[in-house]
Amino acid sequence: MNRDEMDGKKDNLAGRIKEAAGTVTGNAELEREGADQRAGGALKEGFGRAKRKVGEALEDLGEDVKR
């Protein structure tokens, strides 16, 4: 897991907490802010996952070329 994936998971969790807090308190702005943060975190996590997969594929290709 790389930094982008970890940061994305953190933002996703923080967004879920804010969104839930906004729902419970009836604060639509906090709920919306949490939803936006959650979505951004999911996007960042997906980007990090893709970046890691590309790196792993390049490493595998490098190993194949060495043989």
pLDDT in tens, 10-53: 999 999 999 999 999 999 999 999 999 999 999 999 999 999 99
Question: How confident is the model at residue 54, as a pLDDT?
Answer: 96
pLDDT above 90 for 62 = no
CB 48 within 8 Å of CB 57? no
Question: How confident is the model at residue 21, as a pLDDT?
Answer: 98
CA distance linking residue 39 with residue 14, whole number of Å: 11
pTM for this entry: 0.84
DSSP structure string for 25-54: HT-HHHHHHHHHHHHHHHHHHHHHHHHHHH
